[in-house]
Amino acid sequence: MPTLIRPVRSAGRLLLALAAIAVLVVLFLALIVLTDGAGSGLPALLTTLGIGAAAALWWGRRRTWPARLVPFVPVVVAAALAASVCIPTAPTARRYPPDLPFVATQHWSLATGSRVAVYHYPPANAGTRHPVPLVYLNGGPVRGISVLDHRFLQLLARQGYDVYAYEQAGGGRSDLLPMGQYTISRSVRDLAAFADRLGKGRVDILGFSAGAVVLTRALADPDVAARLHRAIVAEPGPMDGPTAHITGHKGRDSARGLAPAMTGPRSTHTPRYAVAFGFMRLGLLTPDSGLIGQAEGDNAFTAADLGSDTASAYCARDAHRIPVEDTARNFSFSPAASLRVQQTTKDSPSIAPQLRQSRTPAMLMIAECSSQVRQWATAILADDPAIQRTQYMPGVGHHMWNGLDDNNSRAAATITAFLQDKAAPLPNHPTRGEIPAFLRDRR
């Protein structure tokens, strides 16, 4: 019997020690939330350490001297775990991606105070040159332009378009802003300032995903819309607060959950960034949390951290041939700034009354396997009377120009036909009158 009691007691002590460690870690994480990660989490760590040490002293008060140290073991282990959340493992000063080998990076200072990275693809077709510049607004919302997107822009330039693209403030090689200045309204003002800085009169705009949201809100602002010649709204996110709160179905099945897991290093495998990014996404930490700085978060975040988000941009049939969208050296994503911009969109009032006054000729592009809520796109179609055509793109997911098959050329044909006011390559579908049936049929 004594031989059985000893292991039972040892197991009981081990369980108590593990429970103590768990309690201290949970206390530390709760303090991180309550303090919004102040001081890189050190105040939460020191408070947890103090409470743990006081509890260990009280627990061992009646023991002999060597035995009094035993209750401190869980405290030391918990402190080590908590310290791993407080110590940076990525540079705390922003490290920008190196320049791309195939296009020069320019830096323009805008009237808004933003300093953005700009890429220019002059028309490469001497026989067919279009007089109106085409500006590309990428998704993100605060993300670098991928190599895959650069290739698509090169294709448009080869068809005679004078193509400009800029990475929105804080994204890619553009300078960071103070966290409080990342707003959807600032993004719209930056677009107007970019068009002014370009100095070539009215411009055509291709806005994709989060960039399509910026473009939609620009169409609803008469002062900004006056700078626009034609607008292409491709796979938009929610345009305002009421739209952001709409729940509904998405497009046909995407590759989410079907594609092999992304390979490569993940910052979220490190306790510090797993806690910071995870809590931000859950709304437990603010984007300007004191746990990690904006620059450190940008440096730490990797393409693999996007997880299944990348797969969701492709059709289920493409699950096992998803292209590499970017290089590790070029990839850049600002999770905190992106959350901040998204939150300001969710908090904004309806822009539908203003959008109904829009007169800028526009086209809406919707992907068959879109990962976006359908009503995000149909709300724009319903409220913008200047949308002249809708192009439902079969066989592609959210990232419509993806280098697979003839997807790039089909997307380019759709875009150029609208910009040149030529017949659309696809039926005009859905029209405003077809919206109820389009949603009912779960297209």
Note whether 32 and 124 are same-domain residues.
no
pLDDT at residue 11, rounded to an integer:
55
202: three-class secondary structure by DSSP: coil
Element (DSSP H or E) covering residue 233: strand 228-234
Do 265 and 188 fall within a single domain? yes
Task: Confirm whether 67 is domain-assigned.
Answer: yes
Domain boundary among 86, 120, 141: 86
pLDDT at res. 97: 96
- Check which CATH number belongs to the domain holding 266 and give it: 3.40.50.1820
Q: How confident is the model at residue 442, as a pLDDT?
A: 78
Q: Are residues 199 and 340 in the same domain?
A: yes
Range of the domain at 125: 106-440
Residue 314 lies in a domain: yes
Kindly state whether residue 72 falls inside one of the protein's structural domains.
Answer: yes
Boundary of a domain, candidates 54, 86, 118: 86
On whether residue 252 sits in a domain, the answer given is yes
Categorize the per-residue pLDDT at 68 as very low, low, confident or very high, splitting at 50, 70 and 90: low
Name which of 82-96, 114-128, 342-356 the model is least confident about. Answer: 114-128
Provide the pLDDT confidence category of residue 443 given band limits of 50, 70 and 90: confident
Q: Does one domain contain both 319 and 427?
A: yes
Instruction: Tell me whether residue 100 is in a domain.
Output: no
User: Coil, strand or helix: which one is 3?
Assistant: helix
DSSP H helices, 113-183, are 147-158
Residue-wise pLDDT tens digits, 159-170: 999 999 999 999
Q: Across residues 272-299, what is the average pLDDT?
A: 95
Q: Are 136 and 31 in a shared domain?
A: no
Crossing angle of helices 147-158 and 407-419, in 10° steps, is 50
Confidence at residue 2, expressed as pLDDT on a 0 to 100 scale: 55
The pLDDT tens digits of the residues spanning 344-384 come to 999 999 999 999 999 999 999 999 999 999 999 999 999 99
133: left (phi over 0), alpha (psi -120 to 50) or beta: beta
Nearest 10 degrees: CA dihedral of 32, 35, 286, 186?
-150
pLDDT at 4 exceeding the cut of 90: no
Whether residue 373 lies inside any domain: the answer is yes
C-beta of residue 235 within 8 angstroms of C-beta of residue 229 = no
Tell me what pLDDT residue 5 has.
60
185 and 265 in a common domain? yes
Cα gap 157→159, rounded to integer Å: 5
**The total number of residues written for the chain in this structure:** 443
Bridge pairing between strands 106-109 and 134-137: unpaired
Residues 193 and 298 in one domain: yes
Residue 93 lies in a domain: no
The tally of domains found in the chain comes to 2
Residue 97 lies in a domain: no
Whether residues 32 and 130 fall in one domain: no
Nearest to 419 by CA among 222, 138, 146, 128: 128
Same domain, 308 and 390: yes
Same domain, 167 and 297: yes
This prediction has a pTM of 0.92
- 81 and 155 belong to one structural domain: no
Domain boundary among the residues 55, 86, 117 is at: 86
- According to the model, what pLDDT value does residue 341 have? 97
Q: Can you list the alpha helix ranges (DSSP code H) found in 96-181?
A: 147-158
Claim to verify: residue 194 and residue 243 sit in the same structural domain: yes
Overall average pLDDT of the 406-417 stretch: 97
